[in-house]
Structure 1
Amino acid sequence: MKLTFAGTGSAFCMAADNFQSNMVLEAVQPGSDQPARMLIDCGSDARHSLRNLGYMPNDFDAVYISHLHSDHIGGLEWMALANYFIFEGHQAKLFAVHDLLEPLWEHSLRGGLQISDQGNNSLSSYFKVNELSPAKGFDWQGVHFDVIPVEHIVTSQGTMLSYALFGHGKKQSFFLTTDAIFNPDAHMPLYQKADIIFQDCELGPRHSGVHAHYEQLVTLPADIKAKMWLYHYQAYPKPDAVADGFCGFVEPGQSFELG
């Protein structure tokens, strides 16, 4: 199983050599020479970042959506219409927590996707919709994924959750935070259990409070930092993460063999 970062940038990344933090997970089943691919989040940059890796919309068996910000769902309309009109109606499985599906359609996709040459459509006209429960997680290509609610935006008026992934690979497990505040008390059991951690990380002078900032992450125990890769960063000069005990910053296009 291989995880490739189509981009490692933040929501507003405009670096010419980077894109938003969406990932391609590949798995090859015994007896097959072709990998199945799951796109983890599909942001506004996806049509460019995926082409940069050599992929087309119909190259994906599945898409996982962690939450409803545009750097995570902004490319879904493109993917849906390209598969519908160009690639003979190819439908990928759409994995998303139940609570995300109605607002995803009603508030993000319906305006561009409901009316087509066949009349009125729904989300299931374009994707094989799989409603997820965080209590159960889901299985894909022989791998089980725990779906972990993590706090992303916390205000006095409410909390926006993102749904992190904990993948149980055959040889090693991994924790992918998606978008999360710095919350070591809540995340420490997952940090400790994982063999490798992919942690969203802010850079720069401003602490937004909606992502973990490098200055916060550097305070984590040494054994946790030693298995942690940092991604979802802005185009500021990067600190020497290796010297500070981390595995490093993920580079655009970098792949990881997860077993």
Structure 2
Amino acid sequence: MKLTFAGTGSAFCMAAENFQSNMVLETTPSGNEQPHRLLIDCGSDARHSLRNLGYMPNDFDAVYISHLHSDHIGGLEWMALANYFIFDGHRAKLLAVKELLDPLWEHSLRGGLETSDHGNSQLSSYFDVLPLVAKTGFDWQGLHFDIIPVPHIVTNESTMFSYALFGRGEKKSFFLTTDAIFNPDAHMSLYRKADMIFQDCELGPRHSGVHAHYDELVTLPAEVKAKMWLYHYQAYDKPDAKADGFCGFIEPGQSFDLG
């Protein structure tokens, strides 16, 4: 089983060699010639980043959505229409916590997908929708995922959560933060029990307060940084993460063996 980063950039990254931070989890079960692929988030440049890896929309069995920002869901309209019109109605499973599904349709996808040649449509017209419950997680191809609600944007009026993943395979476990504020008190137990950590990381002079910034992450304990890979960065000059004790910055197209 391997995890490949289709891109490692932030929502606003315009570096020609990079794309938004969406990932492909792939496994080929024993005795099965065809690999199974789970796309983790499907951002607005997914049609380019996936093609860059050699994938088409019908190459995916399932898509997991962590939250509703466009760099994580902006490519779903493309995927839905391409599968319907070009790839013989291929249907992928759409996995997301149930609280996200209504606003995903009503506020992001309905305008482009509701009216079609088969009449008025809904989300289930294009995907096999699997509402998830955060406290129970989900299983995919022998891998169990815990779903971790992590605060992403915190205001006086409300909190926007992203739904991070803690994956447990036969040999390795990993913590994928998705988009989260720096919150070491809440995340430390996950950091310590994970074999690998994939951490979103801001760069640059401005701390937005909605992602962990490199200046904050560098203060983590050495044993945590030693298994932490950094992604979701902007197109600024990168510091020497390895010298600071991290595994490094993930490069676009880089893959990780999850055992």
TM class by shorter-chain length?
Answer: over 0.9
Residue 28 (structure 1) shift: 1.3
Structure 1 distance, partners of 2:102, 2:34, is 33
Tell me how far apart the structure 2 counterparts of residues 26 and 61 of structure 1 sit (CA, whole Å): 10
Q: Residue in 1 aligned with 2:100?
A: 100
Q: Distance in 1 between matches of 2:65 and 2:193?
A: 23
Cα deviation for residue 11 of structure 1 reads 0.1
1:72 aligns with 2:72: yes
Superimposed CA distance per residue, residues 188-232 of structure 1 (whole angstroms, 9 cap, x where no aligned partner) = 010011000000000000000000000000000000000000000
Distance 2:110 2:104 in 1: 8
Structure-2 residue corresponding to 1:195: 195
* Aligned equivalents of 2:128, 2:194: Cα separation in 1: 30
1:153 aligns with 2:149: no
Say whether residues 1:173 and 2:173 are aligned partners.
Answer: yes
Q: Quick one: distance in 1 between partners of 2:118 and 2:93?
A: 21
Q: Distance in 1 between matches of 2:33 and 2:230?
A: 32
Note the C-alpha offset of 1:35.
Answer: 1.1
CA deviations 1:233-259 (Å, max 9, x no partner) are 000000000000000000000000001
1:2 counterpart residue number? 2
What is the aligned partner in structure 1 of residue 91 from structure 2? Answer: 91
1:164-186 CA-to-partner distances (Å, cap 9, x unmatched) read 00000111000000000000000
SS where residue 25 of structure 1 aligns?
A: strand
Q: Is the aligned partner of 1:82 residue 2:86?
A: no
**Local SS of the residue matching 1:19:** coil
1:118 is aligned to 118
Report the secondary structure of 1:148's partner residue.
strand
The whole-number CA distance in structure 2 between the counterparts of 1:169 and 1:200 is 22
Q: 1:33: how far off?
A: 2.2
- Measured in 2, the distance between the counterparts of 1:29 and 1:93 equals 18
Distance, in Å, in 1 between the alignment partners of 2:69 and 2:105 is 13
How far apart, CA to CA, are the structure 1 residues paired with 2:144 and 2:2? 15
Runs of 5+ consecutive residues of structure 1 not aligned to the other structure = none
CA RMSD of aligned residues (A): 0.4
What amino acid sits opposite 1:40 in the alignment? I
| Unaligned residue ranges in structure 2 (runs of 5+) | none
Q: TM-score by structure 1 length? A: 1.00
Name segments (4+ residues, structure 1) moved above 4 Å. none
Q: How does 1:125-164 map to 2 (within 5 A)?
A: 125-164=125-164
Distance 1:28 1:86 in 2: 25
Aligned residues between the structures: 259
3-state DSSP class of the match of 2:152? strand
